[in-house]
Amino acid sequence: MKQIIKNYIGGEFVNPTNDEWIDNLNPSNGEVYGKIPNSSVKDIQMAVDAAKKAFPIWSNSTLNKRSEILAKIARLIQEKQQELATAEAKDNGKPLALAKKIDIPRASSNFQFFANAITQFSSDSHESVGYDAFNFTVREPLGIVGCISPWNLPLYLFTWKIAPAIAAGNCVVAKPSEITPLSAFLLGEICNQAGLPKGVLNIVHGKGSSAGEAIVKHPEIKAISFTGGTITGSHIAKIASPMFKKLSLELGGKNPNIIFSDCNYEDMLITTVRSSFANQGQICLCGSRIFVEEGIYEKFKKDFIAEVGKLKVGNPFDESTDIGALVSKKHLEKVKSYIDASEDYGGKILYGGEKVNIEGCEKGYYLQPTVIEVKDNQCRLNQEEIFGPIVTLMPFKKEKEVIEMANGVKYGLSATLWTNNLNRTMRVSKCLEVGVLWVNTWLLRDLRTPFGGMKASGIGREGGFEALRFFTELKNICIKY
């Protein structure tokens, strides 16, 4: 039987008003397994109406009440880990084991974190000494906010936006990627079970160009939190900025992984395999440009290729799979086109580069992890976000040279630095144009820390109190006594 996904509006599961639907595919076998609403402006309006109705009560509910409901959602996500992880593997092609270990626990933590954070979120006060006056600030929820998320970490990124938005007292109209809607659909049921009042969260499915854009354009939606591609982000900014909406844009990356010869070699090697190919390289934080200090370059090349060769490409539902399917045929073709043109871009394929045929999943979108040696950081392989299981390798001689190459892209999301020299750590860290830097580790996330990028990687920061600040409006009240 086909899985039918419906919109979640005002606590109910409803068909799209135009009765138009989009096929939903499983990338591990290329088969259509269900359908989702192709929502229109009318459905977004219904979601806004439901949110508007819920707002006065939700925004005035006590912090304890909000916190309890968020914590309950967190618990239910944990309890339904198997079902939710299966949904992610089925929609996205990622290994089920990865979804169980990373995606779903993190979605649960997002709710648990903001259940706690909202009870600690405080205001400032400023006594105007000598003027017999006192200022204090209040942070009020914005009203109705829009949350739009991508396909690579579906529930993980969807909840990263929704949890702080509702914790702060807003009502939400949210749209997951049309390619990975299933876990968001299941979240609706969880919210009902947790007792989230009807209309506080509304989830509308459909295409970015229609349903997504209708959220961005709606005059009553006060803020847009968007994670996705840089071109889409720029398009959204053009619509939302003249409307004076608050905007948080988490966009693409082309992150450097800088390896100095004085690092802990074994840690670096194992982590670099992960930071290159986790989630089929479809994480905005993957270190897709690897720069290695000249003295250890040849050794690294040999050892890295040997480790990459151990990764098993396979059916996401097979427990031993390291690398599952890419998210769609279109995306697979895009990634493969870079591989096929790699020689023209001055690259030399050191490992991989071929599609993989998996027995029983012949129509799935599988690709070998691919390592390409390049000579020039300006080549397209090093300048453009490919967002797949491809990394480039390049040696460097001097600290200054590698900093220039690391910064020599339009993006500025994250970087990884491997060294045991404290002075170098400080020097290089200060020079790198990125929002997030990991030294001697990768993707170690403390949810209190600000997260986001510079340059074409976006504007604004999410995470911790930054997210609660984003989802509230600041008002200063000055009282003379």
Catalytic residues: 250, 284
For residue 334, the tally of other CB atoms under 10 A from its CB is: 14
Residue nearer to ligand NDP on the CB measure, 436 or 439: 436
| Shortest spacing between CB 214 and ligand NDP, in angstroms | 8
Residue given tokens 């339009």 in the structure block: 410
Taking alpha carbons only, the member of 185, 179, 190, 200 closest to residue 108 is 190
What's the CA gap between 314 and 357, in Å, rounded?
A: 9
| Chain length of the chain | 481
Residue nearer to ligand NDP on the CB measure, 157 or 417: 157
Taking alpha carbons only, the member of 241, 55, 248 closest to residue 160 is 248
Q: Which residue has the CB atom at the shortest distance from ligand NDP?
A: 208
Residue nearer to ligand NDP on the CB measure, 43 or 213: 213
| Shortest spacing between CB 177 and ligand NDP, in angstroms | 3
Residue nearer to ligand NDP on the CB measure, 112 or 152: 152
Residue nearer to ligand NDP on the CB measure, 46 or 215: 215
Q: Which helix (H) or strand (E) holds 346?
A: none
Report DSSP state, residue 311. P
Residue nearer to ligand NDP on the CB measure, 236 or 393: 236
The two three-digit tokens of residue 119, written as one number: 């009870």
Residue nearer to ligand NDP on the CB measure, 233 or 314: 233
Q: List contacts with ligand NDP (CB under 6 A).
A: 148-152, 157, 175, 177-179, 207-209, 212-213, 216, 227-229, 232, 235-236, 250-253, 284, 385, 387, 413, 453, 457-458
| Shortest spacing between CB 208 and ligand NDP, in angstroms | 2
| Alpha carbon separation from 173 to 246, 285, 318 (Å, rounded) | 15, 26, 35
| Shortest spacing between CB 450 and ligand NDP, in angstroms | 12
What's the CA gap between 275 and 273, in Å, rounded?
A: 6
Report phi then psi at 256, rounded to 5. Answer: -80, 145
Residue nearer to ligand NDP on the CB measure, 75 or 380: 380
Residue nearer to ligand NDP on the CB measure, 161 or 198: 161
| Alpha carbon separation from 380 to 324, 361, 438, 481 (Å, rounded) | 26, 32, 25, 64
| Shortest spacing between CB 74 and ligand NDP, in angstroms | 21
Contact between 133 and 479 (Cβ < 8 Å): yes
Beta bridge partners of 323: 313
What's the CA gap between 67 and 446, in Å, rounded?
A: 20
Question: In degrees, to the nearest 5, what angle opens at C-alpha 210 toward C-alphas 206 and 212?
Answer: 70
| Shortest spacing between CB 245 and ligand NDP, in angstroms | 12
For residue 33, the tally of other CB atoms under 10 A from its CB is: 15
Question: In degrees, to the nearest 5, what angle opens at C-alpha 158 toward C-alphas 249 and 73?
Answer: 140
Contact between 474 and 139 (Cβ < 8 Å): yes
Angle at which helix 154-167 crosses helix 63-79, to 10 degrees, equals: 160
User: To the nearest 10°, the Cα dihedral for 261, 263, 266, 270?
Assistant: -100
Cβ neighbors of 474 (< 8 A, separation 6 or more) are 137, 138, 139
Contact between 200 and 166 (Cβ < 8 Å): yes
Residue nearer to ligand NDP on the CB measure, 235 or 424: 235
| DSSP SS3 for 221 | strand
| Shortest spacing between CB 226 and ligand NDP, in angstroms | 6
| Shortest spacing between CB 210 and ligand NDP, in angstroms | 8
| Shortest spacing between CB 213 and ligand NDP, in angstroms | 4
Taking alpha carbons only, the member of 224, 204, 196, 170 closest to residue 77 is 196
Q: Which helix (H) or strand (E) holds 300?
A: helix 294-308
| Shortest spacing between CB 338 and ligand NDP, in angstroms | 14
